[in-house]
Structure 1
Amino acid sequence: MDIAAGINAVSAAIALTRSLSDAAKVLDAASMKLEMAELTGHLADAKLSLVEARDEIARLEAECGRIKDTLQEKANLVRYRGYHYPHDKDGQPIGTAYCPTCLTIEGRLFRLIDSRRVHEGNHCPN
């Protein structure tokens, strides 16, 4: 269920509450119970939508924070021979390069691993 469905459920619950207050004197007990059950269902749908929206917002905020951290870290890297490296105080590349595919496509920083085999070169652990 998405936010629009939650809003619709709340709107339906509000409309049903208005009709209940207008017709409370006319409705018998069975009809009143049926209307209250419908109202409860709409409110439960709204609550579910809000919980799902809260979870999605938390997930997106965490992803946004991860992307900000990656961008900040990337700004501190130096590009050398097509790869990004950490650098020393003089701006010279040091250590192992980061995977260019992961950095470009996924926006994630994974250091390449030396396979210790001449014909294979470095590979990404991701």
Structure 2
Amino acid sequence: MEIYTYLKVTTMNDDIFDFCRNMSDEQDARARQMLERAAAKWPLRVLHVLSEADGPLRFSRVLERVEDISQKVLTQTLRTLESDGLVIRTLYPQVPPRVEYELTPLGRELLTQVVSLWRWIVIHLNEFGAPTSASRS
């Protein structure tokens, strides 16, 4: 397989995507859904904040540390991350109720994989085209 990119041709082995060949349509759809959700604006930021804490964080602390996120969006993001098995939510039955969030081993593993991609992007940042006015807003 050859991929034509700006000023060069990149050759990739045809077997690079072999791991996908035996997937059912349902598995493929779920994998794509997980990739889209993980790459959305807030999930990686929330996971990063939880990883830096190196232990459980209360909702209010996560809200303070994730810049520019609303309480509603953080709630939705944490619920999604919990349902995906990337975050553990612990509710302490006291008055007022206390809720803490922390990464699961799966969430931590996802972050380690994303760091490689992030590092590659940073290394090649100057090679990418300039952002368009539509992508800046």
Please state which band the TM-score falls in when normalised by the shorter chain. Answer: under 0.3
The TM-score, its normalising length taken from structure 1, stands at 0.24
**Of Structure 1 and Structure 2, which has the larger fraction of its residues in strand?**
2
Structure 2 length normalisation: TM-score? 0.23
